[in-house]
Structure 1
C-alpha cells in the first residue's frame, strides 16, 4: 500500500511541457507583445483605409459640385452664352479640372466615349475595357452615382454625372474616377515600415525577456546552460566547480575530458589547414615548370623532371611532416646537413621563377658551407616568396639573399609590394592570422608565415619582418652559422618579432623574368 507521503515523493517535477520555465515565460511575453502590436496595426490599417476612401469620395463630390456650379452659372467660352449641348459643357469641365496623380476623366456622348483627358493624365479610364463596358448607358441616367468597380487592371472609385441639356442635343455623361489601389498603396508603405518596427520591437522584447528570465533563473540553470554551451558550440568553456561533493567530481571529470577533446580538435584543424596551405605552392611550381618545358629539348626535359621529382619528394615529406607540426621540437623535424649556402640560394631562385611574372634577383649570397636542412630552408623561402607574390604587382622586383655576419646565417626575401601596416606587423607570424594590409583578400589559411617561424625555430633561430607601407617588406630568417651539430634548439622568440637587420657580404646577380 502506498502512503500519501510516498506518493508526494514520487510526484514528477515540472508541468509536463517540453519547454523549460524560461522558454515558457519568454513565449508568453513575446506572444502577448506580438498580439498587441498586431491588433494595433490592424486597427490603424482599417482606420487609415477608411480615411483614404473618405478622401476619394470628398474629391469626387467636390468635382460634382464644381460641375453643377459650372452648368448653372457658367457660359460657353465660344458663344458667351449658356451651354447649349452636353459635349460643350463636358469639354469645358474637363478643361477646367486638374486631375491628381491617380485620377482620370472621360466624357460620354450618347453611347460612345467622345472626350478623354489630356495625355499628361496618367490614369486612362478609356483603356480599361471592363470599365468602359460598365459605363454603357451612363448618359441615360437620371441621377449622379458614386460606384466602386474592380476590374482585371485595378479597383476604381468613380462618379457618373449624367448631362441633359434642355435645349436639345445628344445626352452625355462626365465620368471622373480614382485608382483606389494606387491611393491605398500610398499609405501601405507606412504600414510596411510599421511591420518592420513591430518586428524589431518584438525582438527587443524577446532579448529583454530572455535576459531578465535568465538572471531570475540563473541559480537553477547555471550548470545546465554551461554544459549546453560546451557541448554545442564552444569547447573552451568549462563548468565552474565549487565544493567537493559528487557533482563537483563529475564537473572536474567533464572538464578534463573537454581538455582532451579541445586539444584533439585543435590539432585536427591545424593539420587540415596546414595540409591545404602547404601543398598549393609545390603543385604550382611543378605545374609552372611543366608548362614552360620544351619537350623537344632533352636537357630542358631532364631539368624539369629533376625539379618536378624534387617537388614531389618535398610534397611527400610535407604530408608526413605536417602530421607532427604541432610538435616542432621533434628531432626529425629538421635534418641539417652540410650545405653550400650560395648554391642553395641560387637553387631557390631557380625554383621561384615559375611562381609569377616578377623580376627575380639575388641580392647577395653567402659563400660558406654550413649545417642547415636545405629542403626546409627552401620550403621557408618558397613560402616567403609566395607571400611576396600575393602582395606585389606584376613586373615588380622580388629578391632573395643570404649572408653570414657575426656568427649568424641570414636568408631573406625582399619585395616591392604595398607593405604591412604597423599594427599588423607584431602578429603576422602567428598561426591563422591573415592581415588585410590594404591588399584585398587572398587565398590561404594564414599558416605560411607560422610555418616559416617553426622552421627557423627548429634550426635554433628566428624570423622577423621589416616593412614600410607603399615601399615593400623584407622577411628575414636568422639562424646560427653552425658548422657542426648543435644541441636541440631551445624555444625561440615570440611569434611576430620584427627587429631590424642589415644585409651585406657576397656577390650580386640580377636576372629578369622572361616576358612572353
Structure 2
C-alpha cells in the first residue's frame, strides 16, 4: 500500500469512527433515557413515601434516645449534687459518736457518714484520706458495684479525682465512664487531707436508652414494611384511572377516537378523567372536521385540475380552439387561486392578529360598503338605513364580510331585483345586514351554508360558481370580532344575512 492510499484509509477510518460515535451516542442516550423512564409513578410514589417515613421514624427514634440520655444526665447530676449537699451538712452538723462532739478526725467523719448511707445500684460512696507519705487510703461501703472496674479498685482514677481542682466532672476510662462529685475536707487554710467522693457509673442507664432506641428502630422497620404494602395497594388504586388514561391514549388513532375513560367519584382523579374525555371529544371533532375539510378541499381542487388537464390534452393547432382552451384554463386557474386564497384566509382566522379593531364611524363604513357593492352587478341597490355611531372594529375585515354577503346576494338574484344594505344599533350591539329578494334558503340548509365547501340546495344556480367558502369566511370574521352571523327570511321572499357585533359601540357614541 502506498503512502497516499494509507492516508486515505486512515481518513476513512477516522470518518467511520466519528460517524459511528455520532450515531451511537443518541442511541445510548435514548437507551439511558428509557432506563430512567421505566420507573413507574407507582414506584416513585412508594419510594418517596418510604424515604419520608424512614426519615420520620429515624428522627423519632433518635429524638427519643437523645431525650432519654439527657434525662439520665440530669438525674445523675441531681443525684451527685444531692449526695454532696448531704455530706456537707453532715460535716457541719454531725456529732461524733465517740467524743459526743463535732468530728475532728476526717477518717472518723467519713466512716460514720458512709455507714448511714444507702447508695443506688450504680452509685459509689467513697472516703479518700491522704497519708503523710502521699498515699491515699480509702473508706468504702462494703457492697458490690455492677461495674467492670469500680472506682474503689482503681487507684489511678481515685488519684486523678482527688487531685482535681474541680468539685464535679466526668472521668473517661478504658473500662467505663464515671460521673463524679467530691467534697474536700481540709484544715482551715491548709491543703485537703481527705475527701468525700460520690461516683456514678452511667453505662447501664445509657444501655437502657440504647435498648429503647433499638426497639424503636425495630418497630419502625415493621411499620415501614406495613407502609410498603399498604402504600403499594393505595397507590395502585389511586393511579388506576391514570393507567386507564395511558392505555386509552396508547390505543387512540386518527381513525378511532371513540374510547373514553370511565369516571367514578368526584376527586381529582375523576376530574382528570373528565378532562381527558373532554379533550378526546375535542380531538374527535377536530379530526372529523379536518378529514371533512381535506376531502372537500381535495374534491374542489381536483375538479379544476381535471378540467385544465383535459383541455390541454385535447388542444389542437387551431388558433380559435387554442384561444378557447386558454380561456377555460385561465378561468379554472383563477378559480383555484380564489379557493387557495380563501383557504389561507380561513387558516389565518385562527391567529390572534386576524383582526385589528379600531375606532370607526359606522355610517361611513356602511356607505363605503354600499358604494363598493353596487359594482358587483346590475341590481336595485338600496341603502336601507345607516346608524351614525362610533364603533370599534376592523373596517377592512368587516368590509370584506359585507362585500362577500353582497356578492352572495348577487349570485342568487336576477337582474333588477332589490338588494338592501344597512346598519343599525341596539344598545351596546350593532348590526350590519344584506337583504336580497331572491329565492331564499331552505330550513334544512340554514345550518350548513356557513360550513366550508357547503352550499344550499335552492340557492345554487347558474350564477353561483364559488367553492362554498364565502359564508365560512363571513362567519370567521364575525366570530373574530366576538359576534356572529345570522340568517333570516326576507319579508316578501329572499334571505337576510345579519352581522351582529356585541359591545362594539364606544362610550359616548350618538345614534
Shorter-chain TM-score bucket reads: 0.3 to 0.5
TM-score normalised by the chain length of structure 2: 0.37
Higher CA-based Rg: 2
